[in-house]
Structure 1
Amino acid sequence: MDWNYGPEEQVLWPASVLAGVLMCAAVYKVTKKVSSSCFKCYDGLSPMQKLEWNNRGFSTVHALVAAAVSFYLVMISGLFSEDVNGIIIDRKSWLSDSMFGVSIGYFFTDLAMILWHFPSLGGKEFLLHHGLSMYAICLALFSGKAHMYILMVLFTEATTPFVNLRWYLDVAGQKDHNLYLYNGLAMFVGWLIARIILFVYFFTHVYSHYDQVKSIFALGFYGIMTVPPTLAVMNVFWFRKICRGMVRTLSKMKQHTANGKTD
Structure 2
Amino acid sequence: MSASTQTITAMKSYHNQAQDLVKNYLLADPFIPYTSILTGIFLCKVVYDLFHFMSNSHSKTYIILTKIQRIEWNNRGISTVHAIFISVVAVYYVFWSDLFSDRWHNDLVVFRSSPLSSFCLGVSIGYFLADLGMISCMYPSLGGLEYVVHHSLSGIAVAYSLFSGEGQLYTYMVLISEVTTPEINLRWYLDTAGMKNSGAYLINGVIIFLVWLVARILLFIYMFYHVYLHYNQVIRMHIFGYLLVFVVPAALGVMNLIWFGKIVKGVKKTLAKRR
TM-score, normalising length from structure 2? 0.88
* Corresponding residue of 1:257: none
* Corresponding residue of 2:150: 129
Structure ID, larger Rg? 2
Q: Answer yes or no: is 1:216 the counterpart of 2:261.
A: no
Q: Answer yes or no: is 1:54 the counterpart of 2:74.
A: yes
2:121–2:162 Cα contact (<8 Å) kept: yes
Secondary structure in structure 1 of the residue aligned to 2:28: helix
- Selected match of 1:88 from 84, 109, 112: 109
Secondary structure in structure 2 of the residue aligned to 1:86: coil
Paired with 1:34 and 1:21, the residues of 2 have a C-alpha distance of 20
- Selected match of 2:58 from 31, 38, 58: 38
Q: Post-superposition shift, 1:11? A: 1.8
* Corresponding residue of 1:19: 39
Q: Post-superposition shift, 1:234? A: 0.4
Paired with 1:225 and 1:199, the residues of 2 have a C-alpha distance of 11
Secondary structure in structure 2 of the residue aligned to 1:81: coil
Deviations 1:16-52 (A, max 9, x none): 1111001110110110111112211111111111100
Paired with 1:125 and 1:214, the residues of 2 have a C-alpha distance of 30
* Corresponding residue of 2:268: 247
Of structures 1 and 2, the one with the larger relative CO (CA 8 A, separation 6+) is: 1
* Corresponding residue of 1:155: 176
Higher mean alpha-carbon deviation, 101-110 vs 80-89, is at 80-89
Give ranges in structure 1 of 5+ residues lacking alignment. 1-6, 255-263
* Corresponding residue of 1:119: 140
Deviations 1:130-157 (A, max 9, x none): 0001110111111111000000111110
Give ranges in structure 2 of 5+ residues lacking alignment. 1-26
- Selected match of 1:202 from 223, 231, 236: 223
Q: Post-superposition shift, 1:66? A: 0.2
2:112–2:166 Cα contact (<8 Å) kept: yes
Paired with 1:226 and 1:126, the residues of 2 have a C-alpha distance of 17
- Selected match of 2:129 from 108, 125, 134: 108
The letter for the 1-side match of 2:257 is V
TM-score, normalising length from structure 1? 0.92
* Corresponding residue of 1:78: 98
Paired with 1:99 and 1:194, the residues of 2 have a C-alpha distance of 20
Paired with 2:220 and 2:98, the residues of 1 have a C-alpha distance of 21
* Corresponding residue of 1:9: 29
Paired with 1:10 and 1:125, the residues of 2 have a C-alpha distance of 34
